[in-house]
Amino acid sequence: MKVVVCVKQIPDPADPGQLDPETKTLKRDSKLILDESDSYGVEMALQLVDAAGDGEVHLVSMVPNNEVSGIRTALAMGAASATIVSDEALQGSDALGTAKVLAAAISRQEPDLILAATESSDGYTGTVPEMVAELMGLPSVTFAKSISIDGSSANVRRQTEAGYDQVECPLPALVSVTAGVVEPRYPSFKGIMAAKNKPVAELSIGDLGVDGDQVGWAGAGQEIVDIAQAPAREAGEVIEDEGDAHERIVAFLDDLKVL
């Protein structure tokens, strides 16, 4: 079984990003790491391939400046190989432009199953997986809590507002995975060393046959018209608990007359 996992490298959340006021794109000059949200998809793919007894996990990612540090993390976890698409024309791409690039790169792999996070931790549009499925003409199940493969179909528990749905979906298919559903493994030292030599194919949009008008700023079809500092919420009183802080909380609630 061949599983493709869509992954994204993002700025370290501990070092929050900024929008460049000139270009209105996210400044990506700090080191990029594997989005934690994607580590669940990578882990789930590895487990499914293990359970199937044969197959491999391939990573697909759209990256700035041929950046691979986060991709190496996923390879160190156990993915076999990767495709990265890096092209200056991709700067400013929105979710739809991104999905077009990913769909073109994934199609070349002819996977049985495509996994993605439900949303990235930096852009969080939460629409790319479903767009990729539509572009590839595939069925999809989003917000998966668990996946098992039964012959030629996937059985998925899909998170809903009220609980979950059990969904049966024939392969090939795309499934998006919610965070926290599996425990992502830490790359072993051996894995980290092996990752350095795993194949990473670098493609341009020309290689994929994607039209430059469809991606980047040109293809985005949307324009940021304003960027402003959000009004900050004022901090109130902060006190040290001296053993009677609960009284302050009760008094606070009494003042609000909510009890």
Tell me the pairing of strands 32-34 and 9-11: antiparallel
250 binds another protein (CB under 8 A): yes
259 binds another protein (CB under 8 A): yes
Nearest distance from residue 203's CB to another protein, in Å? Answer: 21
34 binds another protein (CB under 8 A): no
Instruction: Name which of residues 134 to 163 contact another protein (CB under 8 A).
Output: 134-135, 137-143, 145, 158-163
Of the two residues 189 and 232, which places its CB atom closer to another protein in the complex? 232
Contacts of residue 18, Cβ cutoff 8 Å, sequence gap at least 6: 26, 27
What track of x and - describes contact with another protein for positions 100 through 139 (by CB under 8 A)? Answer: ------------------xx-x--xxxxxxxx-xxx-xxx
CA distance 245 to 240: 8
Nearest distance from residue 190's CB to another protein, in Å? Answer: 27
Structure tokens, 3: 């599983």
Contacts of residue 217, Cβ cutoff 8 Å, sequence gap at least 6: 91, 92
Which of 59-67, 84-92, 165-173, 194-202 is the region at the interface with another protein (rule: CB under 8 A)? 165-173
Q: Which amino acid is at 239?
A: I
CA within 13 Å, CB half, 207: 14
165 binds another protein (CB under 8 A): yes
Instruction: Name which of residues 55 to 74 contact another protein (CB under 8 A).
Output: none
Instruction: Name which of residues 72 to 101 contact another protein (CB under 8 A).
Output: 94-96, 99
196 binds another protein (CB under 8 A): no
Count CB atoms within 10 A of the CB of residue 133.
23
CA within 13 Å, CB half, 109: 30
Q: Which residues pair with 3 in a beta bridge?
A: 57, 113
Nearest distance from residue 117's CB to another protein, in Å? Answer: 10
Instruction: Name which of residues 205 to 234 contact another protein (CB under 8 A).
Output: 220-230, 232-233
